[in-house]
Amino acid sequence: MKFENPVPLDELAQLTGSQIIGNGSSLVHGINEIHNVSAGDLTFVDHEKYYDYTLKSAATFVLINKKMDAPPGKTLLYHPEPFEAYNAIAKKYKPELFSTKQIADSAIIGNNTVIHPSAFIGDSVVIGDNCTIHANATIYAYTQIGNNVIIHANATIGCDAFYYKRQPTHYDKMHSAGRVVIADDVEIGAGTTISAGVSSDTYIGRGTKIDCQVHIGHDVKIGEQCILAAQVGIAGNTKIGNRVTLYGKVAVNKNIEIGDDATVMAMSAVPNNIEGGKTYIGYPVVEARTFARQVAIIKKLPELWEKLKNL
The pLDDT of residue 144: 98
Active site residue 79: no
Q: What is the CATH number of domain 2-93?
A: 3.40.1390.10
16-23: average pLDDT: 94
Range 276-288 burial, b when 16+ CB lie within 10 A, else e: eeeebbbeebbeb
Report cis status (omega within 30 of 0) of the bond before 284.
yes
- Which sequence spans correspond to the domains of the chain? 2-93, 108-289
Which amino acid appears at position 21 of this protein?
Answer: I
Indicate the pairing of strand 239-240 with strand 221-222.
parallel
CB 217 within 8 A of CB 200: no
Are 2-93 and 108-289 in the same CATH fold?
no
> For residue 30, what are the contacts with CB-CB under 8 A and spacing of at least 6?
1, 2, 3, 38, 40, 41, 42
Helix (H) and strand (E) counts for the chain? 4, 34
- The answer on pLDDT for 67 being more than 90 is yes
CB 129 within 8 A of CB 147: yes
pTM value is 0.91
Query: Mean pLDDT for the chain?
Result: 95
pLDDT tens by residue, 222-263: 999 999 999 999 999 999 999 999 999 999 999 999 999 999
pLDDT tens by residue, 175-213: 999 999 999 999 999 999 999 999 899 999 999 999 999
* Residue 136 CB burial class (10 angstroms; 0-12, 13-18, ≥19): middle
CB 39 within 8 A of CB 116: no
Q: What is the CATH number of domain 108-289?
A: 2.160.10.10
CB 203 within 8 A of CB 219: no
The pLDDT of residue 304: 81
Catalytic residue (choose from 134, 175, 215, 218): 218
Percent of the chain whose pLDDT exceeds 90: 88
DSSP-derived letter for residue 31 is E
> For residue 154, what are the contacts with CB-CB under 8 A and spacing of at least 6?
135, 136, 137, 190, 191
The pLDDT of residue 60: 95
Lowest-confidence pick of 120-129, 134-143, 282-291: 282-291
